[in-house]
């Protein structure tokens, strides 16, 4: 199993002009405008090792469950070479609505548009996915607690295989094919989760909370500690009353 390299996340916000127009060729193949690619991510081993994923029991976005029957390879060697060198692949461009994309620090609000531009291409024993994903995250600034938002613009490469049996545990971004279908939604959801900031701030020079608006208060733990210091064992009161003459 080959280890695919990954494409780096872009820093720019959503670009409506990157989606292109949907058209259908005379051969019956759907083609779409494709997003430009950004720089490359590190290869497998990034983010603490590979990530094997079996197919989801429930498809989050039916629009991203794609029939790949025409990408299947044949036993004939000439036909196999033709498929592998076919540059057209299967292109998908669609917008879905976010659902359940949330961590303890940030989230993509439910029903927020998620733009997906993807291309599926056949390999010798797998299907390769290259995609760009664009959306918007929401959070609270960790310093001043004011609302803050930011763009998500992620490029990703993943591999779909017929079975995960025997696949190396260190393989990066390997997903399972379900019959003649692949669920790109698995990849999209995981990339959205990974794109959420761990420590969101509104501005790099944010000074933090305004004492006038957010007066500091003692925590419950500090209050309990003070109460413990004030409580004394009455059996030691006699010793407190002792006085020693200084010579």
What's 51-92 look like in SS3?
A: CEECCCCCCCCHHHEEECHHHCCCCCHHHHHHHHCCCCCEEE
Band of residue 56 on the pLDDT scale cut at 50, 70, 90: very low
From CA 117, how far away is CA 134, in angstroms rounded?
9
Structural tokens at position 77:
């060697």
Q: By C-alpha distance, which of 151, 117, 87, 119 is closest to 18?
A: 117
- What's the pLDDT band for 48 if we cut at 50, 70, 90? very low
Distance CA 119, CA 46 (A): 23
Among candidate residues 233, 164, 154, the one with its CA nearest the CA of residue 196: 154
Compute the average pLDDT of residues 81-96. 69
pLDDT at 240: 73
Q: Comparing 237 with 199, which gets the higher pLDDT?
A: 199
Q: How far apart are CA 196 and CA 100, in angstroms?
A: 13
Q: Would the pTM count as exceeding 0.95?
A: no
Q: Which of 9-13, 27-31, 194-198, 211-215 has the highest mean pLDDT?
A: 194-198
Do 92 and 127 meet the contact criterion of CB atoms below 8 Å apart?
A: no
Range with the largest mean pLDDT of 14-23, 35-44, 50-59, 138-147: 138-147
Q: How confident is the model at residue 108, as a pLDDT?
A: 96
Give the pLDDT confidence of 5-14 residue by residue, as tens digits.
333 333 444 3
The SS3 call for residue 9 is coil
pLDDT(115) > 60: yes
Give residue 189's pLDDT band: very low, low, confident or very high (50, 70, 90): very high
H helical segments located in the chain: 77-84, 184-195, 220-230, 237-240
The per-residue pLDDT for 139 is 96
Q: Kindly compute the dihedral angle of the four CA atoms of residues 94, 15, 33, 122, in this order, to the nearest 10 degrees.
A: -70
Four-CA torsion 139, 144, 146, 149, nearest 10 degrees: -40
Q: What is the pLDDT of residue 173?
A: 82
pLDDT exceeds cutoff 50 at 138? yes
State residue 27's pLDDT score. Answer: 35
Asked if pLDDT for residue 227 goes beyond 80, the answer is no
């Amino acid at each position: 199993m080959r280890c695919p390299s990954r494409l780096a996340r872009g820093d720019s916000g959503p670009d409506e002009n990157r989606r292109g127009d949907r058209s259908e060729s005379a051969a019956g193949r759907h083609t779409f405008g494709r997003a430009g690619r950004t720089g490359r991510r590190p290869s497998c081993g990034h983010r603490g090792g590979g990530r094997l994923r079996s197919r989801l029991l429930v498809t989050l976005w039916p629009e991203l469950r794609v029939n790949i029957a025409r990408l299947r390879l044949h036993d004939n060697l000439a036909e196999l070479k033709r498929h592998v060198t076919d540059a057209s692949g299967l292109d998908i461009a669609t917008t879905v609505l976010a659902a359940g994309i949330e961590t303890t620090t940030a989230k993509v609000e439910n029903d927020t548009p998620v733009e997906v531009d993807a291309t599926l291409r056949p390999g010798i024993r797998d299907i390769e996915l290259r995609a760009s994903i664009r959306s918007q995250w929401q959070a609270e600034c960790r310093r001043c607690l004011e609302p803050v938002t930011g763009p998500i613009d992620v490029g990703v490469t993943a591999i779909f295989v017929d079975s995960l049996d025997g696949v190396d545990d260190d393989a990066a971004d390997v997903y399972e094919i379900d019959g003649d279908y692949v669920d790109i939604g698995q990849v999209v959801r995981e990339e959205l989760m990974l794109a959420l900031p761990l420590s969101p701030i509104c501005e790099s020079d944010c000074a933090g909370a305004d004492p006038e608006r957010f007066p500091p208060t003692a925590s419950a733990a500090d209050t309990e500690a003070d109460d413990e210091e004030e409580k004394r064992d009455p059996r030691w009161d006699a010793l407190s009353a002792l006085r020693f003459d200084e010579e």
